[in-house]
Structure 1
Amino acid sequence: MPNPASVRDQSNWGDGYELAIEVGSTGDTQPQTLLSALWSAAGVRGCFGRRDCEPDEQEEVPCTVASLSEYGHLLGQVCLPTGWLAVCGCTTVRGGGESSDWLAFYVPTGALDTAGIVYWDGRPFFRSALIDDWLAGIAVQVFEQAEFSLGVVGWMVSGSAEASILAGELPEVRDMGYLLPRDGVLRYGAAST
């Protein structure tokens, strides 16, 4: 029987359903604080750099921005809201020019498929209210430890919005979930389309 927590099973990987947090420019010290808070808030088990062997077959790597740069992704396992243990990962998405960098925590669509989580109903985009709300809850916990200017949840959403353009206002029509602070409180606007 397929196991969504198997790191070596390449069918568990694929595009990411993610919580992406805008972290600003590459020189910021905030990415490490956010990464540590994110790993803790999500309850990620382990921290690994390789997808070609299971966690018990490889040494853990430090959950640091340096490890993230070295391996390209940090990998672990997370308990989904349905109770399934699944592979997960974290990566950075570099903005170009004046665009911000992003820290993206994701569960691959392959693992969601194996766990039986429906995120596509034939529309031209992926959406799961269950996963969106779960990721938004993780973002709220992260924000309590490390404030950020913008978070978004959905399928492959890193870099698809900017806090400076939103100017503190949630869009009325939302193709993804938005997490936007106001007066020190993180507000969540779920996807509405």
Structure 2
Amino acid sequence: MSDSASFRYESNWGGCYELSIEVGTSGDAELQTLLSALWSVADMLGCFGRCDREHEYTEVPCTVASLSQSGQLVGQIRLPTGRLTVSGCTAVRGGDGSDWLDLSIPTSELDEAGIEYHADDQPFFRSAVLDDWLAGIASATFQQASFSLAIVGWMISGGADAAMLAGELPQERAMGYLLPRDGVLH
């Protein structure tokens, strides 16, 4: 495993480009269905969780129980460029009736891969390559496990929710939105 594709190196983590998915419920079964679909669709290699020692990981099953115990599941993912890199998945268990599942790619890895995700003339970070790639992952995941909303962008977790959007895509978009309507993802 190369250093850039190793989750054991703390320098590989930091700010992240994310696909954040609002599950729509707060049940373990629904979260597990979505986690399994996302891991499969993203073609994640390995599934590791942090053990008791800092920066040490051990192979774990890709389950909500492992995610809850470890706080984050990590593995490797192939970027649109073909480069193998680290990726992490966290859950935000909502007290408001909905859980979130976040798939993140560290921006340090995007820099290494030469994928642009910012421009001086933009007030926020965006990448057409990453947005399209992560939207494709979300769309394929939606075919296996429906969800309430997915958002894509740099450090976007918690940036919107399905209730706030009320079924309508915003006119101005600092992040990518994937909103289901009538069983179809828009």
Please confirm whether the aligned pair reaches a TM-score higher than 0.5, indicating the same fold: yes
Name the structure 2 match of 1:52.
55
Which amino acid counterpart does residue 144 of structure 2 have in structure 1? Q
Percent identity of equivalent pairs: 64
Are 2:65 and 1:41 aligned? no
Q: CA deviation at 1:8?
A: 2.3
Taking the aligned partners of 2:58 and 2:173, their CA distance within structure 1 comes to 41
2:141 counterpart of 1:138: no
Letter matched to residue 106 of structure 1: S
> Which residue is equivalent to 1:161?
160
Contact 2:43 2:77 in 1 (8 A): yes
1:149: which partner in 2? 148
Q: Deviations over 1:114-169 (max 9, x none)?
A: 22212122344221111111000000110000011111000111221121222221
SS of the equivalent of 1:144 reads helix
How much has 1:23 moved relative to structure 2?
1.7
* Alignment length (residue pairs): 181
User: CA offset at residue 28 of structure 1?
Assistant: 5.2
One-letter identity of the residue aligned with 1:105 = L
Rate the CA distance shift 1:108–1:99 in 2: closer, same or farther, 3 A.
farther
Shift of 1:94: 3.6
Counterpart CA distance in 1 for 2:157 and 2:47 is 21
Query: Mind listing any 5+ residue stretches in structure 2 that lack a counterpart?
Result: none
Deviation at 1:101, TM superposition (A): 2.5
Instruction: Tell me if 1:121 matches 2:119.
Output: yes
Deviation at 1:25, TM superposition (A): 4.4
Contact 1:100 1:159 in 2 (8 A): no
Mean CA deviation greater in 156-165 or 132-141: 156-165
SS of equivalent to 1:178? strand
State whether residues 20 and 105 of structure 1, in contact with CA within 8 Å, keep that contact through their aligned partners in structure 2. Answer: yes
Matched residue of 2:4: which SS?
coil
Q: Is the 8 A contact 2:24 2:147 kept in 1?
A: no
2:103 corresponds to:
105
- Do the aligned partners of 1:18 and 1:105 also contact (CA within 8 Å) in 2? yes
Long gaps (5+) in structure 1: 188-193
Secondary structure in structure 2 of the residue aligned to 1:29: helix
SS in structure 1 at match of 2:23 = strand
Contact 1:95–1:159 (8 Å) recurs in 2? no
The residue aligned with 2:92 is 93
Residue 31 of structure 2 aligns to a residue whose secondary structure is helix
Q: Give me the whole-angstrom Cα distance separating, in 2, the residues matched to 1:83 and 1:74.
A: 22
Query: Which residue of structure 1 lines up, in the alignment, with residue 75 of structure 2?
Result: 76
Which stretch has the larger CA shift, 42-51 or 127-136? Answer: 42-51
**Cα separation, 2, equivalents of 1:155 and 1:99:** 25
TM-score (norm 1): 0.86
Letter in 2 for 1:52: H
Q: Is residue 11 of structure 1 aligned with residue 14 of structure 2?
A: no
Distance 1:3 1:125 in 2: 29
Q: TM-score, with normalisation over the residues of structure 2? A: 0.89
